[in-house]
Structure 1
């Protein structure tokens, strides 16, 4: 998703980072479970293609929402953790969860 101009406002900016499909579910998993490996995320997000997950994680990392931490260098193995900026999205994800509980039937 292209980066929004500041004139588009804060909602457009937020959506430029978290508005792509699967992104909020990745955030939900990281908020709920803490640090997660790529495979852990793929296993919990039934139906996400590995390329899509990789792209979403790269976007979140580029925007300072997640950080990739290596826990093994040979072979290289990493886990993804939320930054402070990412943790600040917690109330947004919680509001979405509460809205979904209220109106999903």
Structure 2
């Protein structure tokens, strides 16, 4: 008896979106706080360029995962917050954290071995 695996294009698209470099960390930062300004996100994720952060935020906004709030003040204030769709990633990120803690070696362990 042969079993066939059903491929899910939605699953693949989700992994492609969230698997892009820095995207998971951006979501994680937004899951751990309320509205965040661009500079706050940038400071919480060292080594990521502002250009890449802007690109990833636009991608997440286009997929309705992140909402960009513009406040008509002087100077203009812009904040980013997860939408309900984005907040729904909380369980998935928790599960990935648990899996990583169990199965992924820390950078120090890799160097030492």
Partner of 1:64: 64
Offset of 1:63 from its aligned partner? 0.8
Query: Please, what TM-score do these two structures have when normalized by structure 1?
Result: 0.85
Partner of 1:33: 33
Offset of 1:73 from its aligned partner? 2.7
Bigger radius of gyration? 2
Alpha carbon RMSD of aligned pairs, Å?
1.6
Partner of 1:17: 17
In 2, the alpha carbon distance for the partners of 1:100 and 1:78 equals: 33
* Secondary structure in 2 matching 1:12: helix
Partner of 1:4: none
In 2, the alpha carbon distance for the partners of 1:68 and 1:74 equals: 17
Write out per-residue CA displacement over residues 14-59 of structure 1, whole angstroms, 9 at most, x where no aligned residue: 1232221000000001001121110000001010000000000000
Write out per-residue CA displacement over residues 49-74 of structure 1, whole angstroms, 9 at most, x where no aligned residue: 00000000000001100001123432
Partner of 2:108: none
Structure 1: gaps of 5 or more residues: 1-6
Write out per-residue CA displacement over residues 54-104 of structure 1, whole angstroms, 9 at most, x where no aligned residue: 000000001100001123432211110000110111111111111122234
Please say which of residues 51-60 and 9-18 is displaced more in the overlay. 9-18
Structure 2: gaps of 5 or more residues: 1-6, 106-113
Aligned residues: 99
* Secondary structure in 1 matching 2:64: coil
